[in-house]
Structure 1
Amino acid sequence: MRFCKTTLQGNARLHVALSIGAVFGVLAASHASAADAPARKPGLWEVKTAIGDHGRAVTAQQCIDASTDQMLQSSAGPFSLPACTSREAKTSDSGMTIDSKCKFNGKPASAHADITGSFDSAYTMTVTAEGSDLPATKMTMEGKWLGACAAGQQPGDVIMAGGVKVNIPELQKRAPAPDAATQPGK
């Protein structure tokens, strides 16, 4: 019985870690900069993220305003702005593509994102990332605007499956200052 409980606790922690990583990793890998990336409509968004062509999608809800949306887009994950030497964003009638050249564990990596839909109601984003220390990975994220944030929610709240809620600006305030030696790309 102890093995089962330990395994279940480990699986729950892994699910939470994957949920947070998928949400922020995809946002960071897919956006060029706050100026290039379209801002999402403020309010409550449901975001479903699938990694690869197998497995179940991870669903999270994000309560955002203009500043927390910009923060989430520009500062999270291994493909954050400081880790990337170049980003090229192109818009077309059908959407947007963003190509990034980055460093992951000090080695070259790249990400290509295709975005379709509207950042006012619903969008789909497909990100393909690869590098010498990173296996080729494909992530698909579907975002859907649900309306105003619910009572008791504040901008920056992320609610994952199972009801786990974190506030990203508060987490950033509590995080220790990054050491240049531990940052991706350094």
Structure 2
Amino acid sequence: MTRALKAISAAGLLAALLSTLPARAEPAVELPTRKAGLWELSMLPAGETTPNMTMQHCTDESTDKQMSSSFSPMAKSACSKNETVKTATGYSTDAVCSVAGIQTTSHSEITGDFNAAYSVKITSHNESAPAGVPSDTAMTLQAKWLGACKADQKPGDIMMPGGFKMNIKDVEKLKGLLPR
């Protein structure tokens, strides 16, 4: 995978993750903290049974809380709308975000158990998608807890396909690399 493709994939992942962060408007609805350890995250395009991207995320309680609090100001700067509500089956999020110059409107339905497995069904529309990129997408993020993080991993580490590794805590550094 080329560096450009990795950056685009990371930007897409970032946009998807931003859209699932709870909004900080009153009254605040917060997603439960995930169980500490190693989570496998698989992205499945609508109608597919084989993931198009699978990654692993090492987390702990502090990192998970930081993702929904410290990263929220970043989400506010990237997202003009980010509303999360509790539903009968889990949570629902509606967001309008701009990452790498692409404005995306998304709707997410989150269900499952944040201790063992959960899924996020995401539909999105890109206002200014580059040529060759579909303007409407639907995908499901499936997450399952694998156990303790590996010895060489620290909370926040995301292991992407092909061995590419980044730490979600370094996301502020990535923002400076993305075109506006």
Tell me what 2:42 maps to.
48
Give me the TM-score of the superposition, normalised by structure 2.
Answer: 0.73
Distance in 2 of aligned mates of 1:20 and 1:13: 10
Tell me what 2:150 maps to.
150
Distance in 2 of aligned mates of 1:85 and 1:167: 25
Equivalent residues of 2:15, 2:99 under 8 A apart: no
Equivalent residues of 1:52, 1:139 under 8 A apart: yes
Secondary structure of 2:105 counterpart: strand
Aligned-CA RMSD value: 3.3
Distance in 2 of aligned mates of 1:107 and 1:15: 16
Structure 1 unaligned spans of 5+: 1-10
Task: Count matched residues.
Answer: 167
Equivalent residues of 2:11, 2:100 under 8 A apart: no
Equivalent residues of 2:19, 2:82 under 8 A apart: no
The alignment status of 1:115 with 2:110, answered yes or no, reads: yes
Distance in 1 of aligned mates of 2:138 and 2:89: 20
The structure whose Rg is larger is 1
Equivalent residues of 1:28, 1:72 under 8 A apart: no
- Larger relative helix fraction: 1
Give me the TM-score of the superposition, normalised by structure 1.
Answer: 0.71
After TM superposition, the structure 1 = structure 2 runs for residues 10-89 of structure 1, keeping only pairs within 5 Å, are 11-13=1-3, 16-17=6-7, 19-33=9-23, 36-53=30-47, 56-73=51-68, 75=71, 80-89=75-84
- The residue identity in structure 2 corresponding to 1:124 is S
Percent identity (aligned)? 32
Tell me what 1:163 maps to.
163
Pairwise CA distance, 1:63: 0.5
Q: Kindly provide the CA deviation profile for residues 101-150 of structure 1, in whole angstroms up to 9, marking residues without a partner as x.
A: 34567786421001111111101101112142141122210000111111
Pairwise CA distance, 1:18: 5.0
Structure 2 unaligned spans of 5+: 130-134
Distance 1:67 1:19, change over 3 A: farther
Distance 1:68 1:162, change over 3 A: same
Secondary structure of 1:80 counterpart: helix
Secondary structure of 2:139 counterpart: strand
Distance in 2 of aligned mates of 1:107 and 1:19: 13
